């Protein structure tokens, strides 16, 4: 899989992951590395080109992050975007001036020329977000685009294979940005054969090579990632045991649905009923991070028991996705906001090797692979679900009674979304049970019932999210249906907070 890579060096731009996505949309496999990665590390991905992202620093600052100087004599074609262009300009002897005023927003190219801009139609709108500017191109480099406020908006290297652009071709506000990126890929000679079928072939090969002669243990959460991974192992003919731990924190009907689908697709699956153990571990606990810790610990115990009973296993497979990997590594500046779901500590404790074939994929890419692997749409397109499950959606102490209330309300909400054709228009939607009672009337009586919050968000990868504008009529129907069917619930509210500042989950 690595032989097709464009390495994107990240200098802290909010758009870095968009660059990677755009390149993949164009059929060029891309990997993000920290901006200061060594050339040796970059070369392990066998890249055909390198993109330098934007970033908040000024190249004038002595401690500004810079690429490994060896990169510039490596012969790799480079596209520098915004800060990345300034890095290129400075490196090759151009001039960069510190700007104290930020140019931010849409601009129009007043001039563009050359191969990077080939095939663009009509007026070319671009998105600008910068303070510093290149005021003189490096010797031998050509200025190939300008806007009214930015006379050096793009530069081309003497060999015509490296470029700097002051604007952001990766964002939607540069409508012809993909054309510009595609031109760069063509000029750099990057192969554009990143298709789901090819990815699947190379993953099958990778998994086979990594597990030859070894037995693999895999935790199944019920979501698309781990289910797809189980199917990948089956497809690769790898000897494995998939374990679905029913911790009692799953959604209504989830265990049965996963069990049925994976069995019918030939996955060697064991379901461990650990509901009593998890509930006991959570008794009296109200702190969200403590809940996560205890759940993680109980997971480890269950896996240790399975490994002892059914082992030995040499490899632990996990469905870690690219955003998880980036977030956990913290390498590109993302802070670890919540302790991570992947069963932390398990590989070290049991002496497992870790196998994470999806570590470079985004969720929609895994969904595409899952389609090729035959995963039913019910699981394939299901909204993401946190590892600690409903424990972080029952706020405060988790009890069986509260779980049951939440499960019923949640099933009604999810069903309602599907009936109204809204389910696939949101990234994630679920109910949260609040640990407060609110007053209501029922007949002549005042009653105190639970409050259920409905949460629906739109998002690309869960890192940022906007609250979903669900129709009022639909919300009204949900409130009626939930309070009617679940008598313990006295009030239903809708969460209208985006991420940031809120997170998607309430705990
Ligand atoms: P937040 O709540 O941090 O969630 O905005 C972002 C995405 O991650 C999921 N999430 C988790 N997943 N273990 C997981 O496996 C967790 O502890 C966890 N916390 C949040 C959340 O559902 C959303 O998709």
Ligand 1 pocket check for 84: Cβ under 6 Å: no
Residue 150 has pLDDT above 70, yes or no: yes
- Looking at the structure, do residues 225 and 177 belong to the same domain, yes or no? no
Q: How far is CA 401 from CA 254, 407, 408, 411, in A?
A: 18, 10, 11, 16
Q: Which atom of ligand 1 is nearest to the CA of 459?
A: 24
- Continuous segment of H or E residues that includes residue 119: none
Domain boundary among 188, 217, 248: 188
Q: Is residue 389 part of a domain?
A: no
Q: Which residue's CA lies nearest to atom 20 of ligand 1?
A: 386
pLDDT of residue 326: 62
Identify whether residues 180 and 201 lie together within a single domain: no
| 3-class secondary structure per residue, 174-233 | CCCHHHHHHHHHHHHCCCCCCCHHHHHHHHHHHHHHHHCCCCEEEEECCCHHHHHHHHHH
Tokens of 181: 């990126």
Q: How many domains does the chain have?
A: 3
Mean pLDDT of the residues in the chain: 91
**CATH number of 410's domain:** 3.30.300.10
Statement to judge: residues 253 and 358 lie in one domain: yes
Task: Identify whether residues 210 and 254 lie together within a single domain.
Answer: yes
- With a 6 A CB cut-off, is 337 part of the ligand 1 pocket? yes
pLDDT, position 202: 84
Same domain membership, residue 438 and residue 407: yes
Tens of pLDDT, residues 288-345: 999 999 998 999 899 999 999 998 999 999 998 877 766 554 443 333 333 344 455 6
308 in the same domain as 251: yes
Q: What is the pLDDT of residues 389-403, one digit of tens each?
A: 999 999 999 999 999
Return the pLDDT at 505: 97
Contact 65, 11 (CB under 8 A): yes
Residues 403 and 386: their CA atoms lie apart, in Å, by 15
pLDDT at position 327 is: 55
pLDDT tens-digit readout, 42-91: 998 889 999 999 999 999 999 999 999 999 999 999 999 999 999 999 99
CATH code of the domain containing 29: 3.40.50.880
Domain assignment present for residue 403? The answer is yes
SS (H, E, C) 293-329: HHHHHHHHHHHHHHHHHHCCCCEEECCCCHHHHHHHH
Residue 404 shares a structural domain with residue 480: yes
Comparing 232-246, 417-431, 439-453, the range with the smallest average pLDDT is 439-453
What are the structure tokens assigned to 324, written together? 């998880």
Report which of 298, 302, 308 is spatially closest to residue 351, judged by C-alpha positions: 308
Task: Judge whether 390 and 297 are in contact, CB under 8 Å.
Answer: no
* Predicted pLDDT of residue 367: 94
Q: In this structure, are residues 145 and 111 in contact, taking their beta carbons and an 8 Å threshold? A: yes
What's the whole-number mean pLDDT along residues 185-209?
A: 90
Residue 502 in domain: no
Domain assignment of residue 276, yes or no = yes
The rounded distance, in Å, linking the Cα atoms of 136 and 128 is 19
Listed residues 380, 413, 428: the one ending a domain: 380
pLDDT of residue 338: 36
Ligand 1 centroid – CA 492 distance (Å): 23
In a domain, 506, yes or no: no
Report pLDDT for 332. 37
The reported pLDDT for the residue numbered 286 is 97
Burial bucket for residue 347 (CB in 10 Å: 0-12, 13-18, 19+): middle
Do residues 17 and 99 both lie within one domain? yes
Check residue 478 and give its pLDDT. 98
In SS3 terms, 96-160 reads as EECCCCCEEEEEEEEEECCHHHCCCCCCCEEEEEECCEEEECCCCCEEEEEECCCCCCEEECCCC
Ligand 1 neighbour 387 (Cβ under 6 A): yes
Ligand 1 centre distance from Cα of residue 505 (Å): 6
Look at residue 163 and tell me whether its pLDDT is greater than 60: yes
pLDDT of residue 45: 86
**How confident is the model over 110-139, as a mean pLDDT?**
95
Which pLDDT value is given to residue 341? 45
Residue 174 sits in the same domain as residue 207: no
Query: Residue 329: what pLDDT?
Result: 46
Residue 503 lies in a domain: no
Query: 259 burial class (0-12, 13-18, 19+ CB within 10 angstroms)?
Result: middle
CA of 450 to the centre of ligand 1 (A): 24
pLDDT for the residue 30: 87
Angle formed at CA 451 by CA 445 and CA 453, multiple of 5 degrees: 145
Collapsing DSSP to helix, strand or coil, 70 comes out as helix
Q: Express as a percent the part of the chain with pLDDT over 90.
A: 75
User: Residue 37, Cβ neighbours under 10 Å: how many?
Assistant: 21
What pLDDT sits at residue 337? 32
- In sequence order, what are the beta bridge partners of 6? 30, 49
* Top-ranked range on mean pLDDT: pick from 28-37, 162-171, 262-271: 162-171
Does residue 257 sit in helix, strand or coil? helix
Last residue of a domain, one of 188, 215, 230: 188
Whether residue 504 is contained in a domain is answered as: no
Same-domain pairing of 101 and 73: yes
| CATH number, residue 210 | 3.40.50.620
Asked if residue 388 is part of any domain, the answer here is: no
Helices and strands per DSSP (H, E), number in the chain:
15, 20
Question: Of the residues 296, 335, 462, 502, which should be mutated to test ligand 1's pocket, given the most ligand atoms within 8 Å of the CB?
Answer: 462
Q: Please give the C-alpha separations between residue 410 and each of 84, 432, 440, in angstroms, as whole numbers.
A: 46, 8, 21
Query: Do 100 and 152 fall within a single domain?
Result: yes
CA distance 444 to 427: 41
Same domain? 175 vs 208: no
The residues annotated as belonging to the active site are 82, 168, 170
The model carries a pTM of 0.78
Q: Is the CB of 504 under 6 A from ligand 1?
A: yes
- Report how far residue 327's alpha carbon sits from residue 336's, in angstroms, rounded to the nearest whole number: 6
Q: Whole-angstrom Cα distance, residue 455 to residue 503?
A: 11
**Domain limits for position 431:** 399-494
């Amino acid at each position: 899989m690595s032989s097709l890579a464009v390495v994107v060096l990240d200098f802290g731009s909010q758009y870095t992951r968009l660059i990677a996505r755009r390149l993949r949309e164009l059929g060029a496999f891309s990997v993000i590395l920290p901006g200061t990665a060594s050339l040796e590390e970059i070369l392990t991905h066998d890249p055909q080109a390198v993109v330098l992202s934007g970033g908040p620093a000024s190249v004038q600052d002595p401690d500004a992050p810079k690429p490994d100087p060896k990169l510039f004599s490596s012969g790799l074609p480079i596209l520098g975007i915004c800060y990345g262009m300034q890095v290129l300009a400075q490196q090759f002897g151009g001039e960069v001036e510190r700007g104290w005023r930020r140019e931010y927003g849409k601009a129009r190219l007043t001039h563009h020329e050359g191969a990077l801009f080939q095939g663009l139609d009509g007026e070319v709108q671009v998105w600008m977000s910068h303070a510093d500017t290149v005021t003189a191109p490096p010797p031998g480099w050509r200025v190939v685009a300008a806007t009214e406020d930015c006379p050096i908006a793009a530069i081309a290297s003497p060999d015509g294979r490296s470029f700097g652009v002051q604007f952001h071709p990766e964002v939607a506000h540069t409508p012809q940005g993909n054309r510009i990126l595609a031109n760069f890929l063509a000029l750099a000679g990057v192969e554009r054969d990143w298709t789901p079928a090819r990815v699947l072939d190379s993953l099958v090969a990778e998994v086979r090579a990594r597990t030859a002669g070894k037995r693999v243990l895999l935790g199944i959460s019920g979501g698309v990632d781990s289910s797809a991974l189980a199917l990948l192992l089956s497809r690769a003919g790898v000897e494995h045991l998939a374990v679905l731990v029913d911790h009692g924190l799953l959604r209504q009907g989830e265990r049965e649905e996963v069990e049925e689908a994976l069995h019918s697709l030939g996955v060697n699956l064991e379901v461990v009923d650990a509901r009593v153990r998890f509930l006991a571990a959570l008794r009296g606990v109200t702190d969200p991070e403590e809940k996560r810790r205890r759940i993680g610990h109980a997971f480890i115990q269950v896996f240790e028991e399975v490994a002892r009973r059914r082992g030995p296993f040499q490899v632990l497979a996990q469905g870690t996705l690219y955003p998880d990997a980036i977030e956990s590594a913290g390498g590109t500046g993302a802070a670890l906001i919540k302790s991570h779901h992947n069963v932390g500590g398990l590989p070290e404790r049991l002496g497992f090797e870790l196998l994470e074939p999806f570590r470079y994929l985004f969720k929609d890419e895994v969904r595409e692979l899952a389609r090729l692997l035959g995963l039913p749409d019910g699981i394939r397109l299901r909204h993401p679900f946190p590892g600690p499950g409903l424990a972080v959606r029952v706020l405060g102490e988790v009890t069986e009674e509260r779980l049951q209330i939440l499960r019923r309300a949640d099933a009604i909400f999810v069903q309602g979304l599907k009936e109204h054709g809204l389910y696939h228009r949101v990234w994630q939607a679920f109910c949260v049970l609040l640990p407060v009672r609110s007053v209501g009337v029922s007949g002549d009586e005042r009653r105190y019932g639970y409050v259920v919050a409905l949460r629906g968000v739109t998002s690309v990868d869960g890192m940022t999210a906007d609250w979903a504008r669900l129709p009022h009529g639909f919300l009204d129907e949900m409130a009626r249906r939930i309070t009617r069917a679940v008598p313990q619930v006295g009030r239903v509210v809708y969460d209208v907070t985006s991420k940031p500042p809120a997170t998607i989950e309430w705990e």
